[in-house]
Structure formats: structure tokens, C-alpha cells
């Protein structure tokens, strides 16, 4: 049996070739081949990534490989599995080809999905990496299935074409493996829209049944957002870091998610969140979807090109720990909504509501007082993507708390420099020093460390930030939002309904009253109720997920009620002394502004 060893790097005038074809729509199988000219003389090693950049959890994509075999010159080549996601072919002469089937039945933005309606895949889920040959050109032939269902299918991807494809099916090329797996692919009968933002062609492919989709409106709104972001990073040249960009949207009954890539994004949304022809109103769902698009598009600069040092390059076989996700995800979460209001897609009151929602998310959970956003970033691999019933009491969200940190940094710089500098200047400095080389000269790219982040903000703003970082980034203090917003003519209040009785719980969706979270220090916690308990009666009256609030409204703070609940299959009784509702109710309101306040707010929200 061969032992796992990294082959020596060889300079070769060759390329790595792949094919991928939907083999069996009903069984959800893609068939993939990878061919190597002049494989390693000691036995070529192949590995499938264990995670996908942008989603920081080990996902073991190799578990979806159903069968795999190797051949050369028409003869089978022995293939040995070295560990969970690595294979080694026996030494052979001539071209070596591996053929394998990949099970694709995860309707998400992270992996792969295939059925009679469409096909979707990320390269990290389907393309084996040829160890030692990652820097060579990688070519993939995307083929259509012979199934009649696929007769009208076409392909949407940001990969560069090598041969003019028919309906998108054809040959594509990437400079290296990293580029190959950074362009997801959609195939099916999607709706397609196009627009140009500062000279760059953008496409929007929407898969799924969406009656009366207003594609023209969607493209018009996205154009405003994209142009605002390009102008933020390159105000003089208006030059984007890609020649073409693709929004790949999967519309379903219920769903939400996005994953960034260097020239595209994969998005999952509810069809009800997409605009309808003839209905010009903007609902919360559509605002949320535009915010998701804005978030992933901002990542084109911030994390796909400006990167933590540990991501240069990615190690796709194991965790890449960084304490900086509060910067990369949190600052992006701040700018995604800010770009909506600056581009005119939403108005200022709607923007305030989105800040209120973020503040609510942070202040609701006592975990923010126990875990810093720096620690939450580092622990994302074991905590953020594996949240359990105790997460609100033990963790802080580096997206939302990071967004509030960005808001605080932006407002502080603007206030203390008299509006001469802002967080925009910091982002442009990060772009110029740590991101721009990615597409101008990738070999010179460098990532940023936590120490360098603080130094850049110090230098750009002329302010020392160590104490701020110690308290709010490396520490667990709440940000002083009311004080920071006041110089911009905004009053921040938290009007918790202390007089309204509450169990201080979160209930799972459904007809039964099952506790999803029991918030620390609340009435349910004090009485001994736990997550997953199912409430069945309150003072002898049946409890459901929909009538609990109405029942509690008949009582007053301080009253004691008897609750019957099932824990597993055992009926238990609890005496619950009702406490006031402790759920945060943040509110942002513009006060009667001075000319100075109005000017500061206008510069912040309309620049």
C-alpha cells in the first residue's frame, strides 16, 4: 500500500482536463473525469476539497463520490484511498484518467444539486485536485445530458470559454485550480437578464418557477448597487476587478443564502422575494434579497481579493483559522445595506429599520457578553455553522456584531475628522495595498493580518484604535450606538416592553409550542424549562405555537402560571413567575437637525 506523500512540483507544458455531464437526473449523479498528462512517476495523488471558501466549516465533499476508477491507455490502474478525501493512482506511463460519479442532492449554494429541473455545482464539490499540478491551466468540458428533459437547457457561469459553446455547453478554461473552483455553474431553463455596470457586463440567471418575474426591474436595481460599489473602491477609474459578472439565483418556496466568488455569486431565495411585473412596491422580502446581492457583490473586493493572510493561498483540506471574519463578513454586512441607501434602491427610513434589525440581533443574545467577535471569527469552524439551542446564550454573531463595529468605526472617523475621512477611505486603502494585485499580478498578492488591519485604520484616520479594538473587537462590551449616532442627527433608543409579560423564549415553527431557545435569565430559564420542551398547557388551557402570546397577555408581570410540558416523552410541571419582556426594541429616529447634523448625515448616507 502506498503511503501519502506530496509529489514534487514539476514545470510542465501541459494542462489538466476535466469533463462533467449530468449522468442520471433521477439518481442525482454527475459523472466527472479528470485527465493528467505525464502523471507523477511515484503515483499521482488526487484530493477533493473538504470545504468551500466563504463557508467556514469542514463539509467532507468526498462523501458524495459514489464510485471512482482510474485508467491509462485503455487499461485499469489500481487506485488506493489514502484518507477521507485523497486517492493515489499506481505508477503508470502516459495519460492517466480518473472517472467518478458525484451524488448531487443538496439544494444550497455550497455544494451541488441535480434533478429534472436543473443542475448546479461548485467546483470544490466535483473537481478532484491534482496534487503538485494546481498551477497549470485547467480546462473543463461541460456537456449536456442526453435525456430529452435537457433539450432546452443552457449554461450560466463566469468561467472563461475556450471554445464557443452551444447554449453554454462547451469548453471552459481557468488559469489554475483555484480559479477553476471559484466559478459555480448553473444549467437548466433559467430566466436570463443582462445589464452593464461601469462597462462590465452583468448577467442574472434565475432558476425556478417565478410567475411574472420582473427581470427588468431586478436588473435596474442591481445595476445601481453594482455601480455604487465599483465607484466606492475605484472612484477615479470606475474600474471593476472582473470583466464579467454573473448572479446565479435559485428561487424556491422558502430559502435564503449566498456564497461569493471572484466573478459571480450563488444565491438562494424565496420566489416571493423577487419583484413582480406590475407591482412597483418594495416589500421587506425584496429589500432583503437586494441586500443579499449587495453583500455577495461587495465580497468581490473584500474577501475574494482583500484576504486574511491565512487565505493566501487557501488550504482546502483543513481549517484555515483567522480572527478576522468580523472584518470580512461584518464590514461587508455593514456595507451591503449602506450601498442600498446610497444607490437609491431604499430610502433612509428603510435603512434605519435594517440597522434596527441588526442591533436587535446582537442585543437579544447574552452570548455577546461572553464571546468577542475576534474569538467568534476564529471559532467559526466549530460554532457558527453548528449552532445549537444554546447558541444565543454562548455566542456572538460576527456578521451582525461586526456590522455594528463597522458602523461605529465609520461614524467615529467621520465625527473626529470633521467629515474629511471615513471608513470608505479605509476600504480603499485596503483595496490598494492588499487586494488590487490579485487581478493585476496574482503572484504578488499578500493577505492582511490582524495587526495590519489596526495599523491601516490608524494611518488612514489619524486616530489610535487600540483601546476601541480591546473593548469592542477583542473584548465583549456593547458599542455606544446612541452616542455615536447623535452627531448625525439620529436618536437611538431601546424601548423594551418591560410591562408586557413574557417567558423570554423562542418557539419553533409549527402547530406545537416547542421551545427552540430559552434565553438566559428569563422567566422560562428561571423556572427550569429547556430548549426542545413542548408546552402543552398554561393554567389548564391548551398552548400552541400561535396562541401563547394571547394567553400571556391576560396576565401581568409578577404573576405565576402553571405550565405543563413534555420533555422527551415525560410530562413535567413548572411554575413560571412571569417577567417583563426583555426582547430589545432598538429604534432610530431623525431628530430636529442642525445644519451641521444634516450635512454629516447626508455625507454618510448619500456619498
The whole-angstrom separation of Cα 344 and Cα 348 is: 9
Q: What is the mean pLDDT of residues 222-251?
A: 97
Out of 44-53, 244-253, 541-550, least confident range: 541-550
297 pLDDT higher than 80:
yes
With a cut of 70, say whether residue 11 has pLDDT above it: no
Mean pLDDT calculated for residue range 462-474:
98
CATH of span 16-189: 2.60.40.3650
Burial 411-436 (b: 16+ CB within 10 A, else e): bbbbbeeeeebbbbbbbbebbeebbb
Region(s) of the chain under CATH 2.60.40.3650 = 16-189
* pLDDT at residue 9 in the model: 44
Q: What are the φ and ψ backbone dihedral angles of 192, each rounded to 5 degrees?
A: -130, 130
CA 495/CA 583 separation, integer angstroms:
9
Element of type H or E holding 432? none
Instruction: Give the pTM.
Output: 0.95
Sort residue 528 into left (φ over 0), alpha (ψ -120 to 50) or beta: left
CA distance 538 to 564: 7
C-alpha cell at position 352: 434605519
Residues 6+ apart with CB under 8 A from 13: none
| pLDDT for residue 191 | 97
Lowest model confidence (mean pLDDT) among 66-80, 395-409, 497-511 = 497-511
- With a cut of 80, say whether residue 607 has pLDDT above it: no
From the candidate CATH numbers 3.40.50, 3.40.1350, 3.30.2010, 3.30.1370, the one assigned to the domain spanning 190-285: 3.30.2010
* Residues carrying CATH 3.30.2010, the chain: 190-285
Say whether pLDDT at 268 is over 60. yes
The DSSP bridge partners found for residue 276 are: 213, 279
Peptide bond into 55 cis (omega under 30): no
Which H/E stretch holds residue 161? strand 160-161
For domain 301-494, the question of CATH label 1.10.3720.10 is answered with no
DSSP state of 536: E
On the question of pLDDT at 185 being above 50, the answer is yes
Alpha-carbon gap, residue 433 to 426, rounded angstroms: 11
Q: How many CA atoms lie within 13 A of 263 on its CB side?
A: 24
Q: Which CATH number fits domain 501-580: 3.40.50.150, 3.40.50.300, 2.30.42.10, 3.30.1490.20?
A: 2.30.42.10
Say if residues 430 and 306 touch (Cβ distance below 8 Å): yes
Q: 5 pLDDT exceeds 50?
A: no
Q: Is the confidence at residue 3, as pLDDT, over 70?
A: no
485 pLDDT higher than 90: yes
pLDDT > 90? residue 165: no
Say which residue the cell 450635512 belongs to: 599
pLDDT at 386 (0 to 100): 94
pLDDT category at 2 given cuts 50, 70, 90 is: very low
Instruction: Output the CA torsion sign for 129, 170, 110, 179.
Output: positive
pLDDT bucket at 121, cuts 50 / 70 / 90: very high
CA 491 to chain centre: 31
Average pLDDT value over all residues in the chain: 94
pLDDT tens sequence across 154-163: 999 999 999 8
Q: CB atoms < 10 A from the CB of 565, how many?
A: 23
**How many other C-beta atoms lie within 10 A of the C-beta of residue 314?**
17
pLDDT digits (tens, 9 = 90+) for 427-436: 999 999 999 8
3-state helix vs strand vs coil in the chain, percent to 5: 30, 30, 40
| Residue whose C-alpha cell reads 451541488 in the numeric block | 112
**CA 197 centroid distance within chain:** 23
Report the distance separating Cα 603 and Cα 607, nearest Å.
5
Is the pLDDT reported for residue 247 higher than 80?
yes
- Cα 355 from Cα 605, distance rounded (Å): 13
Inter-axis angle of helices 400-416 and 595-606, nearest 10 = 130
Distance CA 48, CA 60 (A): 9
CA 528 to each of CA 128, 341, 516, 520, 565: distance values in angstroms, whole numbers, following the listed order: 51, 45, 15, 11, 11
Q: Could you tell me if 45 and 4 are in contact, meaning their C-beta atoms sit under 8 angstroms apart? A: yes
Strands (E), 185-308: 185-188, 191-197, 200-207, 244-252, 257-260, 264-270
Return residue ranges of the chain for CATH 2.30.42.10. Answer: 501-580
Give the model confidence (pLDDT) of 18-69 as tens digits: 999 999 999 999 999 999 999 999 999 999 999 999 999 999 999 999 999 9
Q: Which residues contact 54 (CB under 8 A, 6 or more apart)?
A: 259, 260, 261, 299, 303
Range in 205-219, 455-469, 508-522 with the lowest mean pLDDT = 508-522
The sign of the dihedral angle between the CA atoms of 360, 407, 428, 487 is: positive
Amino acid at each position: 500500500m502506498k503511503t501519502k506523500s506530496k509529489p514534487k512540483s514539476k514545470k510542465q507544458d501541459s494542462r489538466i482536463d476535466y469533463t462533467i455531464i449530468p449522468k442520471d437526473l433521477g439518481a442525482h449523479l454527475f459523472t466527472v473525469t479528470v485527465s493528467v498528462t505525464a502523471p507523477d512517476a511515484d503515483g499521482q495523488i488526487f484530493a477533493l476539497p473538504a470545504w468551500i471558501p466563504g463557508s467556514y466549516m469542514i463539509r467532507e465533499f468526498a462523501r458524495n463520490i459514489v464510485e471512482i476508477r482510474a485508467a491509462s491507455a485503455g487499461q485499469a490502474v489500481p487506485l488506493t484511498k489514502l484518507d477521507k478525501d485523497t486517492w493515489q493512482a499506481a505508477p503508470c506511463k502516459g495519460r492517466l484518467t480518473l472517472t467518478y460519479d458525484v451524488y448531487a442532492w443538496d439544494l444550497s449554494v455550497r455544494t451541488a444539486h441535480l434533478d429534472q429541473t436543473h443542475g448546479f455545482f461548485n467546483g470544490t464539490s466535483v473537481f478532484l485536485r491534482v496534487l503538485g499540478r494546481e498551477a497549470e491551466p485547467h480546462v473543463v468540458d461541460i456537456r449536456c445530458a442526453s435525456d430529452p428533459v435537457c433539450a432546452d437547457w443552457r449554461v450560466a457561469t463566469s468561467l472563461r470559454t475556450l471554445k464557443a459553446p452551444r447554449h453554454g455547453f462547451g469548453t471552459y478554461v481557468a488559469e489554475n485550480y483555484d480559479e477553476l473552483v471559484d466559478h459555480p455553474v448553473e444549467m437548466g431553463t433559467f430566466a436570463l437578464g443582462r445589464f452593464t455596470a461601469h462597462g462590465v457586463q452583468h448577467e442574472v440567471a434565475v432558476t425556478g418557477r417565478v410567475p411574472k418575474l420582473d427581470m427588468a426591474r431586478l436588473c435596474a436595481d442591481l445595476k445601481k448597487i453594482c455601480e455604487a460599489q465599483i465607484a466606492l473602491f475605484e472612484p477615479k477609474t470606475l474600474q471593476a476587478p472582473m470583466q464579467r459578472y454573473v448572479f446565479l439565483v435559485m428561487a424556491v418556496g422558502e430559502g435564503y443564502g449566498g456564497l461569493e466568488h471572484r466573478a459571480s455569486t450563488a444565491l438562494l431565495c424565496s420566489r416571493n422575494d423577487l419583484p413582480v411585473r406590475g407591482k412597483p412596491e418594495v416589500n421587506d422580502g425584496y429589500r432583503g434579497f437586494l441586500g443579499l446581492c449587495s453583500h455577495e457583490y461587495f465580497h468581490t473586493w473584500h474577501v475574494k481579493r482583500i484576504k486574511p493572510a491565512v487565505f493566501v493561498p487557501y488550504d482546502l483540506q483543513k481549517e484555515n483559522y483567522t480572527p478576522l471574519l468580523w472584518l470580512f463578513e461584518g464590514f461587508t454586512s455593514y456595507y451591503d445595506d449602506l450601498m442600498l441607501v446610497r444607490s437609491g434602491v431604499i430610502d433612509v427610513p428603510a435603512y434605519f429599520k435594517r440597522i434596527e434589525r441588526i442591533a436587535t440581533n446582537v442585543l437579544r443574545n447574552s452570548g455577546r457578553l461572553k464571546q468577542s467577535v475576534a474569538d467568534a471569527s476564529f471559532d467559526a469552524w466549530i460554532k457558527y455553522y453548528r449552532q445549537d439551542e444554546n447558541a444565543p446564550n454562548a455566542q456572538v454573531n460576527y456578521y451582525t456584531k461586526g456590522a455594528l463595529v463597522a458602523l461605529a468605526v465609520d461614524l467615529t472617523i467621520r465625527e473626529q475628522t470633521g467629515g474629511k475621512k471615513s471608513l470608505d477611505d479605509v476600504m480603499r486603502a485596503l483595496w490598494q495595498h492588499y487586494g488590487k494585485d490579485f487581478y493585476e499580478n496574482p503572484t504578488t498578492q499578500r493577505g492582511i493580518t490582524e495587526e495590519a488591519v489596526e495599523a491601516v485604520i490608524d494611518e488612514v484616520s489619524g486616530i489610535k484604535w487600540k483601546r476601541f479594538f480591546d473593548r469592542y473587537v477583542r473584548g465583549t462590551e456593547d458599542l455606544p450606538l446612541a452616542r455615536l449616532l447623535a452627531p448625525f442627527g439620529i436618536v437611538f433608543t431601546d424601548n423594551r416592553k418591560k410591562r408586557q409579560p413574557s417567558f423570554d423564549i423562542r418557539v419553533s415553527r409549527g402547530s406545537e409550542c416547542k421551545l427552540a431557545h430559552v434565553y438566559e435569565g428569563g422567566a422560562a430559564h428561571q423556572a427550569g424549562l429547556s430548549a426542545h420542551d413542548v408546552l402543552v398547557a398554561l393554567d389548564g388551557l391548551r398552548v400552541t405555537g400561535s396562541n401563547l402570546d394571547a394567553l400571556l397577555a391576560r396576565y401581568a408581570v409578577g404573576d405565576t402560571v402553571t405550565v405543563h410540558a413534555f420533555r422527551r416523552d415525560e410530562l413535567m410541571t413548572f411554575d413560571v413567575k412571569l417577567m417583563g419582556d426583555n426582547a430589545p426594541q432598538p429604534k432610530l429616529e431623525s431628530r430636529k437637525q442642525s445644519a451641521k447634523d444634516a450635512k454629516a448625515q447626508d455625507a454618510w448616507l448619500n456619498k
